[in-house]
Amino acid sequence: MNSNKPEEEGSVPPAALEKLNRAILAAKPSTWKASYVGGGCHDCVRTSLRLEVCGADGKWVRYFSHWELPAPLPADLEEVLVATKF
């Protein structure tokens, strides 16, 4: 078996998934604003994030936020976004 086999299309490399999991677990999404839209931004990119987290009790908590860049984002939200780039 070849251990250098490329990842399947659409799969997440294990190291990237672990980084994303750490970022999600460290995030405090309940402190995020519902929207970071600054208004009057005509050349900005509109982005949205939907985060679903299953707690130890088996219950799902869902968060949604959107913003138009450039808008300052909380550091923990920025870490989640950086971790999704794999």
pLDDT in tens, 31-83: 877 777 766 666 666 778 788 877 778 888 888 888 776 667 788 888 888 88
User: How far, in Å, CA of 26 to CA of 3, rounded?
Assistant: 32
The answer as to whether 8 is a domain residue is: no
Whether 19 maps to a domain, the answer reads yes
Range of the domain at 39: 14-83
pLDDT at 53: 76
Q: Is residue 3 part of a domain?
A: no
> Is this structure's pTM higher than 0.85?
no
**Number of domains the chain contains:** 1
1 falls in which pLDDT band (50, 70, 90)? very low
Note whether residue 29 is domain-resident: yes
The tokens for 85 are 């780039």
Do the Cβ atoms of 46 and 4 come closer than 8 Å? no
Please indicate, yes or no, if residue 6 is contained in any of the structural domains.
Answer: no
The mean pLDDT value for 15-39 works out to 80
Task: Please check whether residue 71 lies inside any domain of the structure.
Answer: yes
